[in-house]
Amino acid sequence: MKRLLNMLTLVAAASAASLSHAAPSVELKVTGVIRPAACTPILAADGVVDYGSISAGALRHGQTTALPARQIALTVSCNAAAKIALTVIDNRASSRVAGITDSIQAGNAYNFGLGAMAGKKVGGYVLSFQDGATADGRSVTSIVSTDNGSNWNAGSGYIQHQGQYFSFTGNGTQPVAQKVLSTLITVNPVLNKAEELPLDQDVPLDGSATIEVKYL
């Protein structure tokens, strides 16, 4: 019995010692993650504007040949309303033919290359935004910035391949925040002069441009 009492006394003392060293405070934590909006650009038809088979006989000596304009739908979908801009990069810049888009009243700043074949440059094309764009179903118009979005002006519709941000507005002055932007891009290609192309073989049109989303 005496041994049992001694053991109980030791246990009680140990418990008291433990309680005397217990922390006098407890931490409350507030956690979470602020995530920026994420937007994804999607082009119809997998981004391909296909002109199919073009007869070499349709090309002219001493003159460039403009192909019919075609349109492709661009949709930018965001997981939350966001103000965004678009930039467009010419992936075939080395194949630009100086002055080839002058015939459609678009200077070299708007001239995208159509690739090259056997050392010969195929031609160029111009991109432009069509009227009728919408942001979350509301009508918007294009605007352009030359200082990375600090200031905005009414857009001409034509898309430059460097130095400009393109966005859309409902009030004419500032980009609008939206979850879904829908617009049409018009493509106007111009083929090089017949004598500048290796027409004894297939000559592919190889235009390529990257559309990037910038968050404002």
What pLDDT tens digit does each residue of the chain (216 aa) get? Answer: 555 444 445 444 555 555 556 789 999 999 989 888 899 999 999 999 999 999 999 999 999 999 999 999 999 999 999 999 999 999 999 999 999 998 887 888 999 999 999 999 999 999 999 999 999 999 999 999 999 999 999 987 899 998 999 999 998 789 999 999 999 999 999 999 999 999 999 999 999 999 999 999
Note the pLDDT of residue 37.
Answer: 87
Note the pLDDT of residue 19.
Answer: 52
What b/e readout covers 161-172, taking b as 16+ CB neighbours within 10 angstroms?
beebbbbbbbee
Note the pLDDT of residue 101.
Answer: 92
Query: 191: number of CA atoms within 13 Å, CB side?
Result: 25
Note the pLDDT of residue 170.
Answer: 92
Q: What phi, psi does 45 have (nearest 5°)?
A: 55, 35
Note the pLDDT of residue 117.
Answer: 95
**Could you identify the residue written with the tokens 């070299």?**
108
Query: To the nearest 10°, the Cα dihedral for 43, 47, 49, 52?
Result: -140
Q: What phi, psi does 165 have (nearest 5°)?
A: -105, 140
Domains of the chain: 60-215 (2.60.40)
Note the pLDDT of residue 4.
Answer: 43
Instruction: Select from 44, 36, 43, 42 the least CA-distant residue to 79.
Output: 36
Cα distance between residue 147 and residue 136, in whole Å: 26
pTM: 0.84
Note the pLDDT of residue 22.
Answer: 72
